[in-house]
Amino acid sequence: MPASEISAGHVIVKSLAAHGVKRVYVVPGESFLDVLDGLHDSPIDTVVCRHEGGAAYMAEADGKLGELPGIAMVTRGPGAANAHVGLHTAWQDSTAMVLFVGLIPFEHREKEAFQEFDPKAWFDTGAKRVMILDHPERASEVVAEAMFAAVSGRPGPVVVGLPEDIITQPNDGIIHPQIPVAQGGMTVTDWKALKSALMEAERPLFVFGGNDWTDEGADTFTQWLESHNLPAAAEWRCEGTVPFGSPSYVGPLGYGRPQHTHEVLDGSDLLVFVGTVPGDVITDGFTARQNWERKNFIVTIDPSLRGRSGPVTHQIVAKPDVFVRDLVRMDLPVCDSWRTWTNELRAKQVEFSTPPSAEPGDGQAKMATMMANLVKRLDEDAMVTFGAGEHTNWAHRYFPTNGYASMISARNGSMGYSVPSAVAASLQYPKRQVISIAGDGEFLMNAQELATAKQYGATPLIIVMDNQEYGTIRTHQERAYPKRVSGTQLENPDFALYAQAFGGYGVRVEQDKDIPGALDEALKATENGQFALIHLIVEQRVKAY
């Protein structure tokens, strides 16, 4: 090709770099070799993963950790199928993510060629857009459109198909400029309506959530709440936007929530949802907050209010940071009723979240002892990641999330998320403590990504709570089919030896008295550049609450 032209695959890489992308998560395939070649001399770090599900989870976690979409690249057919789980997580969690999928050559289309599939048929109902690059001259434009679609409105996943013969064709190399994203904001009508509702309320509650905040917005929001003695609760698995130790933070909502935050949904005379909506999990299966006389304000950039249940008094179309920018200009008196209400809720949260004694007891290891000792050893900016299962409740209850994006999890209840998300978080923040709390069933679904951690120097501490079962499913089973345990029991290997085989530090803990020493050694290993794993053998039916 002429010297002035480069391949469409190389233009894709240059366009991602122009958007500020620093890292892509890849499982290579012959279908997108030209893109891989473009990454060779690119400033973008290429993180080679061991399974497409792990790569997609890492990209989804990356989308939660920063202001740009997370980027994954996989191959056609089986590779795309394996990545689908991360796409579903991004869809339900409203996470900005772009999945690039190598495809069969354009000329082989609709002949049932090797690994052929229809990207639109597979992904159209679970992605914001599905785009196929059929013209090499549009390569940069398609990247810009995909990045824009992922972050505009309610964030979510976008799929870009790359036919292997198209990406090798010449392109003029012109990079499409980044497309600006509308932020919304409060109108005068919005501002007056919210101020009036707040001044009339005696028991208001803010509910924060979503992945569309920044550190600055979260800090400003917290300061405003505290200065007005107003309470705030966290959407399920979104803790940290208002810090764990804030006098305004009153606890998490959703599955495994403390009783006081469930009751407050109907006990409040004004709810203001910021960055999220009162959906299925928050409202306990669309049952709470259904009284149409109660006031609900919803602040979201998504005008469709997708996923919302119950009444809506007023919608404010704005991203959280812009809403907070306008909110802090509101001149509100500090009401005694707000102070009393907030203090009452805060006291219940403090009681609920205070760890038990860190002093080990006799006998088998206990997760309560592990959490009490872990909390004592955490840095102020420590992060926690986890997938799905009853083991996550220990983090919900006790882990001190002290800033936005300090809890990274899958709100679609997806298992296998713990290790990939921990790797992504550690690569994004190499100087921070990253702790992942995994269940024994959940851990092995993507434990192979410990190899990725070793290869790229990620240093999370992974605590595997081993109760030899799929605990959440067993709990439901006991409720519906008492004393008929079926399909939920597990026999596990030695996870400590598994971690050592991948080049990390691993220790197996069976006795409660051994927990403090094991934690000290594991954390020391992470400080010295290793990932670490504690295999904690606990009783089968142990629960956080």
Q: Token pair of 348, please?
A: 């219940």
| Model confidence band, residue 2 (pLDDT cutoffs 50, 70, 90) | very low
Do 54 and 83 touch, CB atoms closer than 8 A?
A: no
Tell me if 6-171 shares its fold with 355-537. yes
What tens digit of pLDDT does each residue of 411-468 get?
888 899 999 999 999 999 999 999 999 999 899 999 999 999 999 999 999 999 998 7
- 70-74 β-sheet, strand order: 45-48, 23-26, 70-74, 97-103, 157-163, 129-132
Do 91 and 126 touch, CB atoms closer than 8 A?
A: yes
Statement: residue 3 has pLDDT above 60: no
Of 397, 377, 495, the C-alpha closest to 441 is: 495
CB count in 10 Å sphere of residue 112:
10
The identity of residue 367, as a single letter, is M
Task: Give the pLDDT score at 470.
Answer: 74
What would the DSSP string read from start to end of 58-83?
A: HHHHHHHHSSS-EEEEE-TTHHHHHH
Beta-bridge partners for 507: 534
Task: Give the pLDDT score at 543.
Answer: 66
355-537: in CATH 3.40.50.970: yes
CB count in 10 Å sphere of residue 177:
12
The residue ranking higher by pLDDT, 542 or 274, is 274
Do 183 and 302 touch, CB atoms closer than 8 A?
A: no
Q: What is the mean pLDDT of residues 203-227?
A: 96
Statement: residue 475 has pLDDT above 80: no
CA dist 89 and 126 (Å) reads: 10
CA dist 426 and 442 (Å) reads: 20
What tens digit of pLDDT does each residue of 170-188 get?
999 999 999 999 999 999 9
Of 302, 12, 9, 301, the C-alpha closest to 144 is: 12
What tens digit of pLDDT does each residue of 36-84 get?
999 999 999 999 999 999 999 999 999 999 899 999 999 999 999 999 9
CA dist 484 and 476 (Å) reads: 11
Homologous superfamily (CATH) for 188-352 = TPP-binding domain (3.40.50.1220)
- The CATH class of the 6-171 domain is alpha beta
What tens digit of pLDDT does each residue of 333-378 get?
888 899 999 999 999 999 999 999 999 999 999 999 999 999 999 9
**Helix pair 52-65, 418-428: axis angle to 10 deg:** 50
The lowest-confidence range among 115-119, 250-254, 316-320, 450-454 is: 115-119
Residues 6+ apart with CB under 8 A from 241: 208, 209, 213, 218, 221, 222, 234, 275, 404
| Model confidence band, residue 258 (pLDDT cutoffs 50, 70, 90) | confident
What tens digit of pLDDT does each residue of 126-182 get?
999 999 999 999 999 999 999 999 999 999 999 999 999 999 999 999 999 999 999
Q: What is the mean pLDDT of residues 272-300?
A: 88
Statement: residue 315 has pLDDT above 70: yes
Give the pTM.
0.94
To the nearest 5 percent, what fractions of the chain are helix, strand and coil? Answer: 40, 20, 45
Beta-bridge partners for 383: 434
Instruction: Show me where the domains of the chain are located.
Output: 6-171, 188-352, 355-537
Task: Give the pLDDT score at 1.
Answer: 46
Task: Give the pLDDT score at 544.
Answer: 59
Q: Token pair of 343, please?
A: 């203090």
Statement: residue 292 has pLDDT above 90: no
Task: Give the pLDDT score at 283.
Answer: 87
Statement: residue 488 has pLDDT above 90: no
